[in-house]
Chains A and B, each alone.
Chain A
Amino acid sequence: EIVLTQSPVTLSLSPGERATLTCKASQSVSSDYLAWYQQRAGQAPRLLIYGSSRRASGIPDRFSGSGSGTDFSLTISRLEPEDFAVYYCQFSDNSVWTFGPGTKVEIK
Chain B
Amino acid sequence: EAQLVESGGGLVKPGGSLRLSCEVSGFIFRSFTMAWVRQAPGKGLEWVSSITSGGTYKYYSDSMKGRISTSRDNAENSLFLHVDSLTDADTAVYYCARGDSGWPAFDLWGQGTLVTVSS
Contact = CB atoms under 8 A, between A and B. Distances in A.
Interface string B62-82: 100000000000000000000
Given A44-B95, A45-B95, A35 B104 contact: yes
A51 B102 CA distance: 10
Contacts of A45: 37, 45, 95, 106, 109
B104 A97 contact: yes
A-B CB proximity, top 4 nearest: A92-B104, A35-B105, A97-B47, A50-B105
Interface in B54-104: 59, 61-62, 95, 100, 103-104
Kindly state the interface size class of chain A when it binds its partner: 20 to 34
Interface in A66-107: 86, 88, 90, 92-102
B46 A47 contact: no
A97 B47 CA distance: 6
Interface of A: 1, 32-33, 35, 37, 39, 44-47, 50-51, 54, 56-57, 86, 88, 90, 92-102
Contacts of B45: 37, 39, 45, 88, 90, 99, 102
Contacts of B59: 95-96
Interface residues of B, number: 22
A33 B62 CA distance: 20
Most buried by A among B95, B104, B107, B110: B104
Given A95-B59, A96-B59, A99-B47, A47 B106 contact: yes
12 contacts: A33-B104, A35-B104, A44-B95, A44-B109, A44-B112, A47-B107, A92-B104, A96-B59, A97-B35, A97-B37, A98-B47, A99-B45
A37 B109 CA distance: 11
Contact of A50 (B35, B95, B107, B111): B107
Contacts of A50: 100, 103, 105, 107
A44 B110 contact: yes
Given A46-B109, A95-B59, A101-B44, A32 B103 contact: yes
A29 to B, nearest CB: 11
